[in-house]
């Protein structure tokens, strides 16, 4: 999500540079265009400055999240409403995700591999739909699967793999993995839970999905190398072996 945002904003620099004044000021536009054509390096310089600013903003957001994490630890790691894989694990990882987020989709197979290969990693799933009503429907359906005692990991994997993912397909998948038809999308408790997750997400200023939290460390995006490094660091603190 953050990398996608970087690409969009970098493109915006070019557009702004080419159109710095109202369209009615044609002579000014022409002079700016001529300058840029004569000095194209200014676009690269502007993009570099933008990227540096975004990196600084992301670092500040991560520092803010890390500072707030101790006070929010229970909400992040121990909300009994969340699905938890490997509940007896000694190191806790929390993921905020959306089933229609491209980077969440890319990360999903690695997340499942991490869970399967590291039984001492306790993994908390936070439904964080940010891509509109279809994502919200998928999140509610997954919570209904959990409520019914169905296969939550199965529905997580299948939602991430299935395209297109529309409401009808979501319902079919949820029913296959254990949701009760009468409950699909109709539980007010699911709405409360999703609102609480969104509030937590905003308090931590996470900015996008996926977002992983390990201890007091935030790992934004689908950077699995950074996630494994954070897990290894946490395990060292627990006196356990590094991640496989």
Alpha-carbon span 147 to 236, nearest angstrom: 35
Provide the domain count of the chain.
2
Whether residue 170 has pLDDT greater than 50: yes
58 and 73 in a single domain? The answer is no
Whether residue 83 has pLDDT greater than 70: yes
Whether residue 34 has pLDDT greater than 90: no
34 and 103 in a single domain? The answer is no
52 and 78 in a single domain? The answer is no
43 and 81 in a single domain? The answer is no
Query: Quick check: is 204 in a domain?
Result: yes
74 and 171 in a single domain? The answer is yes
pLDDT of residue 18: 42
CATH number, domain containing residue 218: 3.40.30.10
80 and 137 in a single domain? The answer is yes
Closest CA to 125 of 167, 76, 173: 76
53 and 72 in a single domain? The answer is no
Query: Quick check: is 244 in a domain?
Result: no
55 and 80 in a single domain? The answer is no
72 and 58 in a single domain? The answer is no
* 125-177-1 Cα angle (round to 5): 35
Closest CA to 125 of 97, 147, 105: 97
105 and 141 in a single domain? The answer is yes
Answer for the pair 238, 91: CB distance below 8 angstroms, yes or no: yes
Total Cβ atoms within 10 A of residue 22: 9
Confidence of residue 42 (pLDDT cuts 50, 70, 90): confident
Q: Which of 14, 44, 65 is a domain's end point?
A: 65
141 and 39 in a single domain? The answer is no
Total Cβ atoms within 10 A of residue 87: 10
Phi, psi values for residue 180, rounded to 5°: -95, 130
Query: Quick check: is 129 in a domain?
Result: yes
Instruction: Mark 33-54 as b/e (b = at least 16 C-beta within 10 Å).
Output: eeebeeeeeeeeeebeeeeeee
pLDDT of residue 13: 44
Tokens of 147: 């409520």
Q: What is the pLDDT of residues 188-227, one digit of tens each?
A: 999 999 999 999 999 999 989 999 999 989 999 999 999 9
Answer for the pair 96, 210: CB distance below 8 angstroms, yes or no: yes
Range of the domain at 26: 2-65
Alpha-carbon span 231 to 119, nearest angstrom: 13
Q: What is the pLDDT of residues 108-151, one digit of tens each?
A: 999 999 999 999 999 999 999 999 999 999 999 999 999 999 99
Confidence of residue 56 (pLDDT cuts 50, 70, 90): low
Q: Which of 21, 41, 65 is a domain's end point?
A: 65
Alpha-carbon span 224 to 95, nearest angstrom: 12
* 229-234-235 Cα angle (round to 5): 95
Q: Which of 39, 65, 91 is a domain's end point?
A: 65
Whether residue 45 has pLDDT greater than 90: no
93 and 206 in a single domain? The answer is yes
pLDDT of residue 85: 98
């Amino acid at each position: 999500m953050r990398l996608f945002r970087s690409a969009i904003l970098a493109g915006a620099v070019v557009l702004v540079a080419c159109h710095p004044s109202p369209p009615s000021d044609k002579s000014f536009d022409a002079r700016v265009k001529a300058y840029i054509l004569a000095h194209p390096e200014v676009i690269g310089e502007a993009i570099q400055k933008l990227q540096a600013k975004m990196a600084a903003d992301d670092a500040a957001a991560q520092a803010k999240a890390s500072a707030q994490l101790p006070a929010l630890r229970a909400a992040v790691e121990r909300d009994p409403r969340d699905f938890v894989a490997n509940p007896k694990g000694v190191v806790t990882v929390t993921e905020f995700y959306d089933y229609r987020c491209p980077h969440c989709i890319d990360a999903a197979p690695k997340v499942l591999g991490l869970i399967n290969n590291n039984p001492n990693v306790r993994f908390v799933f936070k439904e964080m739909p940010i891509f509109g009503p279809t994502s919200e429907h998928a999140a509610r359906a997954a919570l209904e699967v959990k409520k019914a005692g169905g296969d939550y990991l199965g529905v997580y994997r299948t939602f991430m793999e299935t395209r297109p993912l529309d409401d009808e397909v979501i319902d079919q998948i949820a029913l296959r993995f254990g949701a009760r038809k009468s409950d699909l999308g109709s539980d007010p408790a699911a709405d409360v839970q999703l609102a609480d997750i969104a509030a937590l997400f905003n308090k931590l200023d996470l900015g996008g999905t996926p977002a992983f939290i390990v201890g007091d460390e935030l790992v934004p995006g689908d950077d699995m190398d950074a996630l494994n490094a954070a897990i290894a660091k946490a395990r060292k603190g627990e006196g356990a072996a590094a991640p496989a």
